[in-house]
Chain A
Amino acid sequence: SAVISQKPSRDICQRGTSLTIQCQVDSQVTMMFWYRQQPGQSLTLIATANQGSEATYESGFVIDKFPISRPNLTFSTLTVSNMSPEDSSIYLCSGITSGDTDTQYFGPGTRLTVL
């Protein structure tokens, strides 16, 4: 299994600013992902965080808005840039370990409110 932590757990930000969310896994994961869960909705995949290279973004998400880093196997960051109230959401990272490829483990999420 994997234990995933995220920082910050929540934040309230002003529009036009940027926030960087950190995701730390307690064991090496083969793949890491970033999701968004808007109020009352299910999860939407933003991107796959690739170690040492550019992330792979899903349709509707772009690097300029959501730059992602993954410098090693256990750490990734997601930045929400030039925020607007529409970015208010919960952002979750997840990972898959090599020993349990059937399970995605999720972090507790970062609850973002943009005023």
Chain B
Amino acid sequence: RKEVEQDPGPFNVPEGATVAFNCTYSNSASQSFFWYRQDCRKEPKLLMSVYSSGNEDGRFTAQLNRASQYISLLIRDSKLSDSATYLCVVNKDNAGNMLTFGGGTRLMVKP
């Protein structure tokens, strides 16, 4: 079993749609969780951290379910510019700095 699993997609959605990505992780000791965004042929960039209480940043909402070891990302009112690969990222150990990346979910938003 992979340490961090994601549906690779692609998710093809029209502009304005709401889309949700899910991710599961295997290490119950993990403490830090993130969503990164990677555009084609670019480096990953932090989209948002994921907190136990859930967090929202504009059109983006992240949720964490520790009991199920499950993380989600919801994107509302999708824009063309949201097209990218979204990487679910979990810290590798309690140090909090060594990250394990999921395989990524590719999103394509179409006019």
Interface residues in chain A, defined as those with a beta carbon under 8 Å from any beta carbon in chain B: 31, 33, 41-45, 48, 92, 96, 101-104, 106-109
With known contacts A42-B87, A42-B104, A45-B92, A101–B97 Cβ distance under 8 A = yes
- Interface size on B, as a range, is 10 to 19
Are B98 and A43 in contact, with the CB atoms below 8 A? no
Main secondary structure of the interface of A (DSSP, over half): strand
With known contacts A102-B32, A102-B49, A45–B100 Cβ distance under 8 A = yes
- Which of B40-48, B63-71, B76-84 participates in binding chain A? B40-48
**Which of A33, A48, A106 is close to B45, meaning CB atoms less than 8 Å apart?**
A106
Are A33 and B98 in contact, with the CB atoms below 8 A? yes
Return the chain B residue nearest A35 by Cβ: B101
- B32 — which chain A residues lie within 8 A by C-beta? 102
Interface centre among A33, A43, A96 (most CB of B within 10 A): A43
- A104 — which chain B residues lie within 8 A by C-beta? 46, 97, 99
Q: Is B14 an interface residue (CB 8 A)?
A: no
- B46 — which chain A residues lie within 8 A by C-beta? 102-104
Are A41 and B103 in contact, with the CB atoms below 8 A? yes
Bound form: Cα–Cα A42–B32 in Å: 18
Which 8 A/B pairs are nearest by Cβ-Cβ distance?
A106-B43, A42-B101, A43-B101, A42-B103, A103-B46, A42-B104, A108-B43, A102-B49
Return the chain B residue nearest A108 by Cβ: B43
28 contacts between A and B (CB under 8 A): A31-B97, A33-B98, A41-B103, A42-B87, A42-B102, A42-B103, A43-B44, A43-B87, A43-B101, A45-B98, A45-B99, A45-B100, A48-B98, A92-B44, A96-B97, A101-B97, A102-B32, A102-B34, A102-B46, A103-B46, A104-B46, A104-B97, A104-B99, A106-B43, A106-B44, A106-B45, A108-B42, A109-B43
